[in-house]
Chains A and B, each alone.
Chain A
Amino acid sequence: MADGYFDAKLMKTLEQTTDEILNLAAAHFKVPRANLQPNDDFFKKLGIDSLQALELLTRLENHFGVELPDYEIAGVSDFRTLATRIQARL
């Protein structure tokens, strides 16, 4: 019963997590939020290099309170897949 209560209240959906990532990315990399979609390549859409991708990773870890090893995002370039990696750590 208690578990169900906490699941319903606290667990984010993939859509919520994706939306929070898009909001955070738009705010920190000065890109209009309306221009970002879940399947976008964030390297291209944000115009970032690997050092800035690490900055994004750190911001996401701090925002969601998770630890996401960088090898888990190697090869990932779209926001939705990034969100699934974070969902797996929430």
Chain B
Amino acid sequence: MNEYKGKSLCWHVADGVVELALDRAPANEIGLAMLDDLERFAAALPELESKASALILYSKRSAGFSAGADLRELYTLVQQTDAASAAKGVREFLERIHTVLNRIDMSSLTTMAAVHGVCFGGGFELVLACDLIIADKMARFCFPELRLGLIPGFGGIPRLKRDIGNGVVRDLLLTGRSINATKALAVGLASQVAAEGEALRVARATAAQVTKFDRATAAAAKRFIKPLPAEELRREIDIFCQLFVKPAVMQGLRKFVEDTGAHPYLP
């Protein structure tokens, strides 16, 4: 499938490059609709990998790359069922999103995320599955999950730990603070910083460079340098599910969802 347009994203292939654009109002929250579309993309990847060399992920939303998991949808679904069913549903969601992100992580394509604006929680975790991060100077990265009594659940901790020093991982995880593109570049998270509005253009130039290389060689290099932290990813799901049933999580979700003021994304 060379082209696809779903409810929350679209993709197409041109000149050896797959471009996957997230486009779900208001800020590409990752819920069931986005998961369905991402699963469709993962299923199409084998065919896309035979036709292309690179993959660019980006967002069409002005607010940014993604504000993370769809907490409003999660809260609504949890309210509609009993605790045991809710916990089971959360585990199933995590298993599905991990399968998708692991597939993107291990793709033979050279993958890159062009990031602008907010890149929080699950959105940050999607970006971390990519090989390269090209950050607009207005990009902002954050793991806010501890504010909800949770840890990141889409594979974020093992992938961030794979890429950068443990001290920076602890800073982001344990303070829940957000960092800008300059900091992301300084700690080795982003590979390039682009001027405001230029991240996608820089990603396209990078992808054009990638298409010059032999695919089998590039894929071999990637397999060698980017192993999947499979055991830690499994443990992350277990820890998330253990924490999810605690009362503090529902309180945190309710506080976020019911915040009608201007502050839900601030600590």
Taking Cβ atoms with an 8 Å cutoff, the residues of A that contact B are 43, 48-51, 53-55, 57-59, 61-62, 67, 69-71, 73-74
Contacts and interface: CB of A to CB of B under 8 A. Distances in A.
Residue in B27, B138, B139, B183 whose Cβ sees the most chain A Cβ within 10 Å: B138
A49 B265 CA distance: 9
A49 B262 contact: yes
A70 B262 contact: no
A67 B264 contact: no
Contacts of A51: 27, 63-64, 67, 117-118, 265
Contacts, number: 60
Nearest to A59: B138
A74 B138 contact: no
Interface residues of B, number: 25
A68 to B, nearest CB: 9
B264 A54 contact: no
A50 B183 contact: no
B159 interface: no
Nearest to B142: A70
Which A-B residue pairs are the 9 nearest by beta carbons? A50-B265, A69-B177, A71-B267, A43-B262, A49-B262, A50-B266, A74-B267, A50-B263, A70-B178
Contacts of A71: 175-177, 267
